[in-house]
């Protein structure tokens, strides 16, 4: 089934669910009920507090409505008549929506005795709403505004075949087991403390190890690609963000300013204005270009409370950021080099499915949502498309989602269980360097403004580690595991030998712990497996006497009588080469 037909199916499901809810729970008022990716939701306001136990009852009612095969019919009415119709039914949220619409005709969709404000389209009749399942109950502010009423939102998923629904439900079940918030807490990676503030993660020692490994990977990769590292402050005067255009275009996502010595300072929401300042701090020649400035800069964005979600949506983020200043002639090679960097990272992390979303502007947004430079928009969008096509990099075009200063590539990846994540971005900026007066001297002894490529292949530590937790279900490959080896003693008599072994393994570059507690060995093994430690070395009296190791992998496989040299000969290359699977 096409995506348009699936959207109609899911939108029709939301109407059927709304009818079922109003029949089962009289007095419930309707908010909005759109189709979304994989399914639908509807927002309700009423005396009944929905709980998960209500969902099977609502589903059963929906099935009865589906079996009746009620036709979906569209009618159009004058605005005044629409206002009167929904006022008589006490649908205050619909009245607000109608009030925001332009004068003219208003469309309804009806089936059976149910009518909703809607522009459609829908399936032919309720019998064609496909295979569905209601999944969760959540709260949602009316129109996303924290100052407006909190409504109750019921989510569902819907597909055209039973097999597609079952496959999606299996993925959701796996995703629940892999929830990065749950695993992150269990493995001691991070936590969020309400006294510190929502959306401000605190990284525990094991989380810090993962961050440092990712940062080392990025620094090594970028050094080989000719990047120079810089550092910039966490706050900045208002004038810089007025110059960049972030204040008029991005103010709602910025923390409010601080007043100091008659000046307004903002927490930085992104690094690019600071990097522009660094580029402009010295004279540049065409011979100097491209200039590639990289930074792991911490940024702060005021995400709405209702949008915060574990590590995926936070207010403090450390970004794998860089800006490339180049000529038009250099653009294609630089842009493709960034795309290939993405592909190299995908190989390292075992990301097999990905998509580059090429986001373009919409003409009606010029001067409002986008910089008003129609010729430059066309030129740079053509340049990006040529580069992606020439490099044989798969992409899909998405209109009206560009950055305010130029087109961009948003990178979507899928985890091993098929869950989609927005990972990173690769943006073209034809406008802001000119605002900062950035120039380089050309070969013809004139001046020109460089193009700027904004890129962040690993996104932010927060979002990327959240993805990796779910992708690997917390069982990170050896190089990324906070604890790589745990030495387990059977009795206290092996403690000294365990410490000596741990020291040798640490000296070889491994992260090692020794479990010397007095618990039984079975308990120690279970603890290490629950903590996803890649390698366990069990030391008993016979092992110490023989000078060999009993090696146990977290997948349960065991290897007896292994020498220290053989263990290191297998494990060290696995770590150095960043292998995804153990070398045994």
Three-state SS letters, 490-508: CCHHHHHHHHHHHHHHHHC
CA 391 to CA 333: how far, in whole Å?
9
Look at residue 174 in the predicted model and tell me its pLDDT.
Answer: 87
CA 583 to CA 575: how far, in whole Å?
10
List, as one string, the DSSP characters of 296-336.
Answer: EEEEE----GGG-BTTTB-SEEEEEEEEEEE-HHHHHHHHH
Look at residue 324 in the predicted model and tell me its pLDDT.
Answer: 97
Q: Using CB atoms within 10 A of its CB, is residue 60 exposed (0-12), middle (13-18) or buried (19+)?
A: exposed
Look at residue 1 in the predicted model and tell me its pLDDT.
Answer: 63
Identify each DSSP E strand in 311-431 by its residue range: 316-326, 353-359, 395-398, 408-414, 420-429
**Which residues, including other chains, have CB under 8 Å from residue 200's CB and lie 6 or more apart?**
192, 314, 315, 316
Are 218 and 342 contacting, i.e. CB atoms less than 8 angstroms apart?
A: no
CA angle centred on 166, ends 162 and 172, rounded to 5°:
145
CA dihedral 146, 148, 151, 155 (to 10 degrees): -50
CA 73 to CA 120: how far, in whole Å?
10
End-to-end CA distance of the chain: 44
Are 314 and 200 contacting, i.e. CB atoms less than 8 angstroms apart?
A: yes
Three-class SS of residue 89? coil
CA 133 to CA 546: how far, in whole Å?
59
Look at residue 37 in the predicted model and tell me its pLDDT.
Answer: 86
The answer, as to whether pTM is greater than 0.85, is no
Identify each DSSP E strand in 450-531 by its residue range: 451-456, 485-489, 512-515
Task: Name all domains of the chain by residue range, CATH numbers in brackets.
Answer: 3-160 (3.30.980.10), 184-472 (3.30.930.10), 478-576 (3.40.50.800)
Are 328 and 289 contacting, i.e. CB atoms less than 8 angstroms apart?
A: no
Instruction: Using alpha carbons, select from 552, 538, 430, 428 the residue that is nearest to residue 490.
Output: 538
Mind listing the pLDDT tens digit of every residue in the chain (584 residues)? Answer: 667 789 999 999 999 999 999 999 999 999 999 999 889 999 999 999 999 999 999 999 999 999 999 999 999 999 999 999 999 999 999 999 999 988 889 999 999 999 999 998 999 999 999 999 999 999 999 988 888 999 999 999 999 999 999 999 988 888 889 999 999 999 999 999 999 999 999 999 999 999 999 999 999 999 999 999 999 999 999 999 999 988 877 888 899 999 989 999 999 999 999 999 999 999 999 999 999 999 988 999 998 887 889 999 999 999 999 999 999 899 889 988 998 898 899 999 999 998 888 888 888 888 777 777 888 788 888 888 888 888 888 889 888 888 777 888 888 899 888 888 888 888 888 888 999 999 999 999 999 999 999 999 999 999 999 999 999 999 999 999 999 999 999 999 999 999 999 999 999 999 999 998 889 999 999 999 999 999 999 999 999 999 999 999 999 999 999 999 999 999 999 999 999 999 88
CA 22 to CA 28: how far, in whole Å?
6
């Amino acid at each position: 089934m096409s995506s348009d037909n699936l959207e109609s199916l899911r939108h029709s499901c939301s109407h059927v669910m709304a009818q079922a809810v109003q029949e089962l729970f009289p007095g419930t008022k309707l908010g909005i009920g759109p189709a979304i990716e994989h399914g639908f939701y509807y927002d309700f306001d009423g005396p009944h507090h929905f709980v998960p136990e209500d969902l099977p009852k609502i589903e059963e009612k929906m099935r009865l409505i589906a079996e009746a095969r009620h036709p979906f019919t569209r009618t159009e009415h004058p605005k005044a008549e629409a206002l009167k119709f929904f006022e008589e039914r006490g649908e205050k949220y619909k009245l607000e929506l109608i009030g925001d619409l332009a004068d003219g005709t208003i469309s309804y969709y009806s089936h059976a005795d149910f009518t909703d404000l809607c522009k459609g389209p829908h399936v032919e009749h309720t019998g064609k709403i496909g295979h569905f399942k209601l999944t969760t109950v959540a709260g949602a502010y009316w129109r996303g505004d924290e100052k407006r009423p909190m409504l109750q939102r019921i989510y569902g998923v819907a597909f055209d075949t039973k097999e597609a629904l079952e496959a999606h439900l299996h993925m959701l079940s796996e995703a629940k087991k892999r929830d990065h918030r749950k695993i992150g807490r269990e493995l001691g990676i991070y936590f969020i403390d309400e006294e510190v503030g929502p959306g401000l993660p605190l990284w525990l020692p094991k989380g810090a190890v993962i961050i440092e490994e990712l940062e080392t990977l990025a620094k090594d990769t970028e050094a080989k690609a000719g990047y120079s590292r810089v550092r910039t402050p966490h706050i900045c005067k208002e004038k810089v963000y007025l110059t960049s255009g972030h204040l008029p275009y991005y103010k709602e996502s910025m923390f409010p300013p601080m007043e100091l010595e008659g000046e307004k300072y903002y927490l930085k929401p992104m690094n690019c204005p600071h990097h522009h300042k660094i580029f402009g701090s010295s004279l540049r020649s065409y011979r100097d270009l491209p200039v590639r400035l990289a930074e792991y800069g911490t940024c702060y964005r005021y995400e709405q409370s209702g949008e915060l979600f574990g590590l995926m949506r936070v207010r403090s983020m450390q970004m794998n950021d860089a800006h490339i200043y180049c000529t038009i002639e250099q653009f294609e090679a630089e842009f493709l080099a960034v795309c290939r960097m993405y592909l190299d990272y995908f190989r390292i992390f075992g990301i097999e499915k990905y998509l580059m979303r090429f986001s373009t502007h919409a003409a009606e947004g010029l001067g409002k949502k986008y910089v008003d430079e129609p010729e430059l928009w066309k030129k740079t969008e053509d340049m990006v498309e040529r580069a992606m096509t020439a490099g044989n990099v798969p992409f899909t075009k998405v209109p009206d989602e560009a950055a305010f200063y130029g087109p961009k590539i948003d990178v979507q990846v899928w985890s091993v269980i098929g869950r989609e994540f927005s990972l990173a971005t690769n943006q073209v900026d034809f406008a802001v360097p000119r605002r900062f007066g950035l120039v380089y001297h050309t070969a013809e002894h004139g001046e020109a403004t460089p193009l700027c490529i904004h890129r962040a292949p690993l996104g932010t530590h927060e979002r990327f580690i959240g993805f990796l937790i779910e992708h690997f279900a917390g069982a990170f490959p050896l190089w990324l595991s906070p604890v790589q080896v745990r030495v387990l003693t059977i009795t206290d008599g092996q403690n000294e030998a365990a410490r000596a072994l741990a020291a040798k393994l640490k000296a070889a570059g491994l992260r090692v712990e020794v479990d010397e507690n007095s618990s039984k060995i079975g308990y120690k093994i279970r603890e290490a497996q629950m903590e996803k430690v890649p390698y366990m070395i069990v030391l008993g009296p016979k092992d110490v006497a023989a000078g060999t190791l009993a090696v146990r992998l977290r997948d349960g496989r065991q290897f007896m009588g292994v020498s220290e040299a053989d263990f290191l000969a297998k494990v060290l290359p696995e770590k150095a080469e960043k292998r995804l699977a153990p070398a045994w």
